[in-house]
Amino acid sequence: MSHYQAPLTDMYFNLFDLWQTQKYWDQSPALKELLDQETASAILEEAAKVAAELIAPQSKLADQQGVQWHAGEVTTPDHYKTCYQQLCEGGWTGLAGDPEYGGMGMPKTLASMYEEMLCSADIAFSLYSGLTAGACVALNQHADSATKAIYLPKLYSGEWSGTMCLTESHAGSDLGIMRTQATPLDDGRFSISGSKIFITAGEHDLTANIIHLVLAKLPDAPAGSRGISLFLVPKFMVNADGSLGERNKLSCGSVEHKMGIHASASCVMNFDGAVGYLIGEANKGLACMFTMMNYERLAMGSQGLGAAERAYQNALSYAKDRLQGRTTGKDTNKADPILGHADVRRMLLNVKAINEAGRSFSVYVAQQLDQAKYSGDKKAEARANLLTPVTKAFMTDRGLDACITAQQVFGGHGYIQEWGMEQLVRDVRIAQIYEGTNGIQALDFAVRKVAADNGEVLNEMLAEISEKLALRPHSALSNLLDEYKNLVNELLIEGKNESQLLPTVACDLLDLSGYLFYGYMWHQTLAALDPVKHSADFIESKQLTAQFYFERVMPKAQGLIAIIRQPISALVEMRDELF
Amino acid sequence: MSHYQAPLTDMYFNLFDLWQTQKYWDQSPALKELLDQETASAILEEAAKVAAELIAPQSKLADQQGVQWHAGEVTTPDHYKTCYQQLCEGGWTGLAGDPEYGGMGMPKTLASMYEEMLCSADIAFSLYSGLTAGACVALNQHADSATKAIYLPKLYSGEWSGTMCLTESHAGSDLGIMRTQATPLDDGRFSISGSKIFITAGEHDLTANIIHLVLAKLPDAPAGSRGISLFLVPKFMVNADGSLGERNKLSCGSVEHKMGIHASASCVMNFDGAVGYLIGEANKGLACMFTMMNYERLAMGSQGLGAAERAYQNALSYAKDRLQGRTTGKDTNKADPILGHADVRRMLLNVKAINEAGRSFSVYVAQQLDQAKYSGDKKAEARANLLTPVTKAFMTDRGLDACITAQQVFGGHGYIQEWGMEQLVRDVRIAQIYEGTNGIQALDFAVRKVAADNGEVLNEMLAEISEKLALRPHSALSNLLDEYKNLVNELLIEGKNESQLLPTVACDLLDLSGYLFYGYMWHQTLAALDPVKHSADFIESKQLTAQFYFERVMPKAQGLIAIIRQPISALVEMRDELF
C-alpha cells in the first residue's frame, strides 16, 4: 500500500534555484560538455520513473522474500534481477563513474538526488549498486591503470558488482585488531585468508562477478591500524582479456537475519587462500578504504532522507484520507480528515521541515565534493570532510525520527505490515549503525574534524553563514549561531584540559550542529524563493515550513546547548560496577 | 541471546524505601491482612522466577513462531500454553483481582512491579493476561453481582480470558462514529452485529472461553460518543452453573501481520448476531470502558519500562564483554571493553537514568491509584487521572528511545535478530500507539486534565514538589519547576483565546511534564538513600545517575520550553494543499 513519487520539483529547486549547481557545471571543463540544467532534469525525470514506477512498488515484496542462502549461494528476491538489469541498461550503475573507463561522469550533486530516489524506492536494493559505486571510487583513486582498465568498465556497466570487506567478528569499529592475513605469492599477488562479517552484497545472484575490496594484514605489518593493506579479491578470477576464469577461494558462509533491509545480503565471507591484488601502498589500506567510506557515508545520509521522504508522502496521503474526529463542524456522526488535527499537522510539519532541509544539505555537501573533485578546491574538500559525519549521522538520526513520526500518524495501521510504514522504520534503522555508527561519526566530527584544526574549517563554515545573515538578517538563526560559536570556543579550550569532554559531548554537539546547519539551509531557501520562477503555493509552503522549522524545530538546540554546558563528572566518575 | 534478571533490588527500594508502600498497606483495612513487606518481597521474588526463568528465555521463539490463523482458530507459540498455565497456577492472573470473587486483592503498587517484569520477559505474552485484568476491572466496577459471580472467578483464575472490543476499521480513536449494532432481544439480552479490528487476544488457544467486552450502539442511541453501550459477549455461552454452552455467533476473521509482538493475536472480530449482555447503563458504555482503558494505560507504561529495562541489561552486558578500541592503555593490538568509551557510557547512563525514574514514577502513580481504590481518596484519584496520560505516553516514548539507544550500543550486532535487541525495539513500538495514541494522551493531558480544571489538580502536584524542595533544596529542579509553573499559567490564559494552542503544544507539554516529574522522582530518590539500609555502591550509583539525569537529561526541557513559547501560526496557517 506504500506509494512513492520522486519529489522532482523540490529537487530542481535545490539544484537549480537554491544552490544553482548548473552555473558550476557551466564553468567546469569536465562537466560543461556533459551536463546542463535541461539534461540534468531529463536524467532525474528518468531516474524518477525507474525508482517510483519500477522499484518502489515492489519494496514490500523484497522485504517479504528477503535473501535466501543455500550452500554458499545467495538468492535475491525474484524481481531484483529485472530491476537490476534496468539499472544497468539505463547506465545508472555508472552514473558518477569516470568517463575514461565507461562511467557517465555525472557530478555528486546530481547523483545524490538519484541516490535519494533509489533509497526511497528500496534501501536494500540500493545497496547492491551503492557498494559498487563506492568500490569504484576507491579503485579509481588508488589502483593502477591496468587494474582500472580491467575492472572499472565492468563495474560501471553493472556487469560486476563490488563490496567492502572490513569488519571481522571481533573487530567491528576497531579495525586495527583485525586478523585477516595477506601472504605474498611469488608472482606479486597475495593469498588472503580470514573471515569477514556483515559484508553487504558479499554474495548474490545479480551479477556475473563480485569484486571484493578486502582489508588484511601483511606478515610484516606494523601493529594496529597502520598495518592494514587493501586488496582486490574477485569472486571469479579475471583473465587478461576480461573474461572470467576459475572460482577464487572464497565463499559466503551464511547471511544475517536482520531487523530490516531483508533483501540486502549481509554476508559472512570466508577467504581461504583467495588470490588478491594489492591496491595502493602496503599498510596504507585504511586510507584507501576511507575514500570509499566517505563516499558511502554521504550515501547513508540519502538513506535517511529517502526513507523519510517516502514516509512523509504516505503519512500525508493517509492524513488526507483518514476520517476521525471533528475539526470543521459539529456533526457528531461525520468525521473530518485527521490532517485537520493540530497534532497531526505538527507531526507532518516536523517531518517536512527536516526532509526539505535535509535535501538542501545533501546538495550543499555534494557541491563541496564536486568542487573538490572537479576544481581541486582544497577548501571545499575540507568543508566536505567536516560535514561528512554530520551528513551521515544527523540525516540518518532525523531519518529514523521522521519515519517513526510518520508511522505514528497512521495510528494502529502504522504498526501493521500492510501499509509499509513499519518497514521504513526497520529499513532506515541500519543507516545509523553501518559505515561507522553515529556515535563514531560524532567522535570523528568533534575530535578529528573540529578540535584537530582548532575549529578552523568549522569557523570558515560559520563565517559563510554570518555573511549570508548579513545580507538577510534572521534573529533566531543569528542568535543560535552566536551561541554555537561561543560554545565551540569554550569546548575547544576546555577540551585541552579534559580529554573526556569532547567524546562525552560529541553526539549532542553533532546534533546541535545539524540543527544550526539545517537552519542555514532554510535561511538560504527563503532567499532563493522567487515569484517569477515559483508558484505562489510553492513559495507559501516553503515560507511556512521555514517558519515552523525556526520556531518549533530549531529551538531543540536550546536543550542541547544546556546539556553540553553541564559538567561531565557523573559520567566520568561512574565506575563500571555501578552501572 | 537476550537475557533478563528482574531488578528486584531497585523494585524493593522503590516500594519500601522511596515510597514506603508497606506503611500504607499496614494502615489499610483491606490490605493489612493480605500483605506486608516480607510477603510482598516473596511474591515479587516468585514473579521474578516466572518472568526471568520461564518466559524471558523463550521470547525470541515467540517472536519467530508468532500466532497462526487457520479457519477462524488462532494458534499461539507452543510454549505459551505451559507459560500461561504457570501464570494461572501461581495465581498471577488474579493478582490484583477482587478477593470476593477469587482474586488475590493485591495493590497496584505491587502489581505494577509484576507487570514490568512480565513486559521485560515478553510483551506479547503479557497481553493475554493483561487484557483479562483490564476486563475484570471494568466488570467488577460496572456489572451486577450475578454477572460478576459468574465471570470474575474464571477470569481471575485464568480459565477464561477477556478482551476489549472498541476499534472498527473506520473508527479508530473516534469511537463516536462506530457502527456495531446491539438489538434488544425479548429476554433482556442483546444481539450484537458488527466488525471490530485490532482486538488483542480476540481469539487464541490459551483459555477455554474468551469474554469480549464490546462497545456497540442501541437502535435508539443518541449520535456520537454519548450513544455507545458496553456489552459482555462470551465466545461460548455460559450456563447458569458456569459450564460452557453453545458457541456464540462471533468469529475471528483474520489476524494482523505486525512490526512486532508477533505472538500477540491482533484479531479482526466479526459479531454476527452474537448474544450479549448489557454492562452498566445504556449509552454509558464509553465511561465503563474507560475504567478499563485507564487501567490498561498504566500497564502500557510498564511495557515501555519493561522493554527498556531488558534492553539496558543486555546493552550493559554487551558493553562489558565487547572489546573495541583502547581506553586504558596504548597497546594497539589489545582492545578494551567498550564500556570505557564516553559515548557508550553516555548511552547507558541515559537509559539507566530514565528507567530508574520510570520505575519510581510507576510506583508513585500506582500508589495514587491504591489510595483512590482502598481509601476512597478523591485527591489521589484526581492525581492518578492527571498522571495516567503521562505514564502512558512519556514512559512508552522514553521506552522506545531507550531500546533504540541500547540497540545502538551493540553496533551492527544490534541490528541482527540473534541478540534480541531489534525485537525489543519492534515490540515496544506498539505501546506508543495502542490504548490511545500518545498524541491523544497528550491532548487528554493538556486539555481534559490540565485546562479543564484550570490547572487545579496539576497545581496540587506542583505544590507537593515545592514542599519537598523546601525540605531538600535543588536549584536545577526548582528552576525548572518555576519555569514550568509560569509556562502552564501562560498557556492556560492564552489557550482561552486560541483554541489551537493547547492541541498544538500538547505533546511537547506532556514531554516537559515528564522530564519535570522524573526530576521529582530523582530528587526523592536522593532523599531516600540511607547508608544504614543501602550499600555504598547502591548509594553511589543512585547519586551519580541522579546527577547525570539532572545535568545531562533534564536540560532537554529547555528545548521543549523554547518550542512551547513560540507562535503556532505556521501550523495553523498551513493550508492542507501546502503540505
Query: The domain spanning residue B496 has which CATH number?
Result: 1.20.120
How confident is the model over A277-298, as a mean pLDDT? 85
Taking CB atoms and an 8 Å limit, are A172 and B316 in contact across chains?
A: no
Please report, in angstroms and rounded to a whole number, the separation of the first and last CA atoms in chain A: 45
Query: Among the options A115, A168, A356, A435, which is catalytic?
Result: A435
Query: Nearest Cβ partner of B432 from A408, A572, A575?
Result: A408
How confident is the model over B123-139, as a mean pLDDT? 96
Q: Residue A456 domain-assigned?
A: yes
Residue B292 pLDDT more than 90? no
CA distances from A306 to A116, A300, B234, B571 (A): 5, 10, 48, 24
Query: Nearest Cβ partner of A349 from B266, B323, B571?
Result: B571
Mean pLDDT for all residues in chain A: 96
Taking CB atoms and an 8 Å limit, are B504 and A342 in contact across chains?
A: yes
Q: Residue A483 domain-assigned?
A: yes
Phi-psi region at A74: left, alpha or beta (left = phi > 0; alpha = psi -120 to 50): beta
**DSSP code of A66?**
-
C-alpha cell at B125: 505474552
**Contacting A residues, span 81-100, partner chain B, CB-CB under 8 Å:** none
Please, what is the angle between helix A501-528 and helix A342-375, to 10°?
90
Query: Nearest Cβ partner of B173 from A332, A339, A411?
Result: A411
How confident is the model over B429-442, as a mean pLDDT? 96
What pLDDT is recorded for position B224?
Answer: 87
Pairing of strands A209-216, B73-75: unpaired
Give residue B546's domain range: 437-571
Nearest residue on chain B to A535, judged by CA atoms? B578
Chain B residues near residue A571 by CB distance under 8 angstroms: 342, 345-346, 349, 548, 552
Chain A: give the shortest CA distance to residue B25, in Å: 32
What dihedral angle (degrees, nearest 10) is formed by the CA atoms of B269, B271, B274, B277? 70
Residue-by-residue DSSP string for B169-236: TTBSS-GGG---EEEE-TTS-EEEEEEEEEEETSS-SSSSEEEEEEEEB-TTPPSGGGGBEEEEEESE
Taking CB atoms and an 8 Å limit, are A174 and B335 in contact across chains?
A: yes
3-class DSSP assignment, residue A70: strand
How confident is the model over B84-106, as a mean pLDDT? 96
One-letter amino acid identity for A22? Q
What dihedral angle (degrees, nearest 10) is formed by the CA atoms of B74, B75, B80, B86? 70
The CA R_g of chain A, rounded to the nearest whole Å, is 24
Backbone angles phi, psi at A69, to 5 degrees: -105, 130
Chain A: give the shortest CA distance to residue B319, in Å: 10
How confident is the model over B109-138, as a mean pLDDT? 96
Q: Residue B496 domain-assigned?
A: yes
What pLDDT is recorded for position B487?
Answer: 98
The verdict on whether B435 is a catalytic residue reads yes
Helices (H), A472-500: 475-497
What pLDDT is recorded for position A288?
Answer: 86
Chain A residues near residue B332 by CB distance under 8 angstroms: 176, 223-225
Taking CB atoms and an 8 Å limit, are A316 and B579 in contact across chains?
A: yes
Residue A295 pLDDT more than 80? no
Cα–Cα distance measured from residue A127 to residue A223, given in angstroms and rounded to the nearest whole number: 32
**Contacting A residues, span 321-340, partner chain B, CB-CB under 8 Å:** 323-325, 332-335, 337, 339-340
Phi-psi region at B420: left, alpha or beta (left = phi > 0; alpha = psi -120 to 50): left
Q: What DSSP element (H or E) covers A253?
A: strand A250-255
Taking CB atoms and an 8 Å limit, are A198 and B442 in contact across chains?
A: no
Cα–Cα distance measured from residue A106 to residue A366, given in angstroms and rounded to the nearest whole number: 12
Residue A329 pLDDT more than 70? no
How confident is the model over A186-200, as a mean pLDDT? 97
Chain A: give the shortest CA distance to residue B21, in Å: 26
Query: Among the options B115, B203, B309, B435, which is catalytic?
Result: B435
**Contacting B residues, span 114-173, partner chain A, CB-CB under 8 Å:** 167, 170-173
C-alpha cell at A357: 532541509
Cα–Cα distance measured from residue B238 to residue B209, given in angstroms and rounded to the nearest whole number: 9
Q: Residue B84 domain-assigned?
A: no
Q: Residue B560 domain-assigned?
A: yes
What pLDDT is recorded for position A185?
Answer: 98
What pLDDT is recorded for position A330?
Answer: 64
Question: pLDDT band at residue A335, thresholds of 50, 70 and 90?
Answer: confident
Taking CB atoms and an 8 Å limit, are B408 and A437 in contact across chains?
A: yes
CB B333 within 8 A of CB B87: no
CA angle A156, A160, A162 (to 5 degrees): 85
At B142-194, the pLDDT tens digits run 999 999 999 999 999 999 999 999 999 988 788 888 999 999 999 999 999 99
Chain B: give the shortest CA distance to residue A177, in Å: 5
Residue among A198, A316, A343, A572 with most chain B CBs within 10 A, to mutate:
A343
Cα–Cα distance measured from residue B296 to residue B307, given in angstroms and rounded to the nearest whole number: 16
What pLDDT is recorded for position B419?
Answer: 95
**Contacting B residues, span 282-321, partner chain A, CB-CB under 8 Å:** 316, 319-320
Taking CB atoms and an 8 Å limit, are A324 and B411 in contact across chains?
A: no
B479 shares contact with chain A (CB less than 8 Å):
no
Higher per-residue pLDDT: A447 or B292: A447
What pLDDT is recorded for position B332?
Answer: 65
Query: Nearest Cβ partner of B574 from A349, A558, A575?
Result: A349
CB A41 within 8 A of CB A462: no
C-alpha cell at B579: 503540505
Taking CB atoms and an 8 Å limit, are B257 and A418 in contact across chains?
A: yes
How confident is the model over B275-292, as a mean pLDDT? 90
Sign of CA dihedral A84, A90, A92, A97: positive
ipTM: 0.96
CB B81 within 8 A of CB B12: no
B342 shares contact with chain A (CB less than 8 Å):
yes
Please report, in angstroms and rounded to a whole number, the separation of the first and last CA atoms in chain B: 45
Q: How many domains does chain A have?
A: 1
Pairing of strands B160-165, B209-216: parallel
Chain A residues near residue B561 by CB distance under 8 angstroms: 558
What pLDDT is recorded for position A332?
Answer: 65
Taking CB atoms and an 8 Å limit, are B224 and A563 in contact across chains?
A: no
Residue A289 pLDDT more than 90? no
3-class DSSP assignment, residue B103: coil
Q: Residue B557 domain-assigned?
A: yes
A417 shares contact with chain B (CB less than 8 Å):
yes
Residue among B197, B341, B354, B415 with most chain A CBs within 10 A, to mutate:
B415
Cα–Cα distance measured from residue A370 to residue A19, given in angstroms and rounded to the nearest whole number: 13
How confident is the model over B447-462, as a mean pLDDT? 97
Q: How many CB atoms lie under 10 A from the CB of residue A283?
A: 18
Taking CB atoms and an 8 Å limit, are A172 and B324 in contact across chains?
A: yes
**Contacting B residues, span 169-188, partner chain A, CB-CB under 8 Å:** 170-174, 176-177
Taking CB atoms and an 8 Å limit, are B544 and A578 in contact across chains?
A: yes
Residue-by-residue DSSP string for B424-461: HHHHHHGGGTSSS-HHHHHHIIIIIIIITTTTHHHHHH
Q: Residue B559 domain-assigned?
A: yes
B380 shares contact with chain A (CB less than 8 Å):
no
Chain A: give the shortest CA distance to residue B431, in Å: 10
One-letter amino acid identity for A542? K
User: Going by C-beta distance under 8 Å and a sequence separation of 6 or more, which residues neighbour residue A440?
Assistant: A173
Mean pLDDT for all residues in chain B: 96
- CB burial class (10 A; 0-12, 13-18, 19+) of residue A76? buried
- CB burial class (10 A; 0-12, 13-18, 19+) of residue B309? buried
Q: What DSSP element (H or E) covers B163?
A: strand B160-165
**Contacting B residues, span 22-81, partner chain A, CB-CB under 8 Å:** none
Chain A: give the shortest CA distance to residue B434, in Å: 7
Instruction: Map grid coordinates 451486577 to a residue.
Output: B144
Taking CB atoms and an 8 Å limit, are B425 and A422 in contact across chains?
A: no
Q: Residue A575 domain-assigned?
A: yes
3-class DSSP assignment, residue A206: coil
What pLDDT is recorded for position A514?
Answer: 98
Taking CB atoms and an 8 Å limit, are B544 and A342 in contact across chains?
A: no
At A126-147, the pLDDT tens digits run 999 999 999 999 999 999 999 9
What pLDDT is recorded for position A174?
Answer: 83
Q: How many CB atoms lie under 10 A from the CB of residue A217?
A: 21
Beta strands in A149-243 (DSSP E): 160-165, 181-184, 190-200, 209-216, 229-234, 236-238
CA angle B200, A317, A59 (to 5 degrees): 75
What pLDDT is recorded for position A287?
Answer: 87
Residue B449 pLDDT more than 70? yes
Query: Nearest Cβ partner of B433 from A176, A411, A559?
Result: A411
Chain A: give the shortest CA distance to residue B371, in Å: 33
**DSSP code of B21?**
H
Neighbouring-strand partners of residue A74: A69
Taking CB atoms and an 8 Å limit, are A408 and B332 in contact across chains?
A: no
Question: pLDDT band at residue B289, thresholds of 50, 70 and 90?
Answer: confident
User: Going by C-beta distance under 8 Å and a sequence separation of 6 or more, which residues neighbour residue B191?
Assistant: B182, B183, B184, B185, B273, B274, B275, B276
Pairing of strands A209-216, A160-165: parallel
Residue B331 pLDDT more than 70? no
Neighbouring-strand partners of residue A215: A230
Backbone angles phi, psi at A34, to 5 degrees: -85, -30
Taking CB atoms and an 8 Å limit, are A563 and B551 in contact across chains?
A: yes
Q: How far is CA B276 from the centre of its chain?
A: 29
Cα–Cα distance measured from residue A225 to residue B332, given in angstroms and rounded to the nearest whole number: 8
At B502-553, the pLDDT tens digits run 999 999 999 999 999 999 999 999 999 999 999 999 999 999 999 999 999 9
C-alpha cell at A15: 539544484
Taking CB atoms and an 8 Å limit, are A343 and B443 in contact across chains?
A: yes
Taking CB atoms and an 8 Å limit, are A552 and B541 in contact across chains?
A: no
One-letter amino acid identity for A368? Q
Residue A331 pLDDT more than 70? no
Q: What DSSP element (H or E) covers A87?
A: helix A78-89
A558 shares contact with chain B (CB less than 8 Å):
yes
Pairing of strands A266-279, A229-234: antiparallel
- Counted residue by residue, chain B has a size of 579
